[in-house]
Amino acid sequence: MKLDIAKLLLRLYAGGFMMISHGFPKLSKLIIGNFEFGNPIGIGATPSLFLAVFAEFFCPILLIIGFKTKWATIPLIITMFVAVFVVHLNDPFGKKEFGLLYLMPYVIILLIGPGKFSIDRK
């Protein structure tokens, strides 16, 4: 029971408190038609923005409710991996540190699963 509560808290924290706050401004950019964005993996600014919105806004919602949880962590892991090892590759560790702090909860959730308090377990 305690482990399932810990898994729920991790999902709520990693999804709600950590990532949606980054994804919502990007979603707002899409809604108003502002497609200016970085192009860290060379696919273009607009596709990069769409992928970032998917990973940073929609996947955290899935994480919070515990639906397709393991699948939802994959775009989050990829996004944080790109942030740390592509966007901030040449930056000092202090710049990479936040991305790594975001990355690890998603890796942990992928490995341990969503827990009893999730739609996946119903």
Per-residue pLDDT in tens (0 to 9) along the chain, 122 residues: 899 999 999 999 998 888 999 999 999 999 999 999 999 999 999 999 999 999 999 999 999 999 999 999 999 999 999 999 999 999 999 999 999 999 999 999 999 999 999 999 87
Structure tokens at 95: 């710049």
pLDDT, residue 15, reads 87
Q: Structural domain of residue 16, as residue ranges? A: 2-121
> How far, in Å, CA of 48 to CA of 51, rounded?
5
Element holding 77 (H helix, E strand): helix 69-82
Q: How many CA atoms lie within 13 A of 8 on its CB side?
A: 11
CA 55, chain centre distance (Å): 5
Q: Is 27 in a helix, a strand, or coil?
A: helix
- In whole angstroms, what is the distance from residue 42 CA to residue 38 CA? 9
User: How confident is the model at residue 121, as a pLDDT?
Assistant: 87
For the entire predicted model, the pTM comes to 0.92
Helix (H) or strand (E) holding 121: none
Domain count, the chain: 1
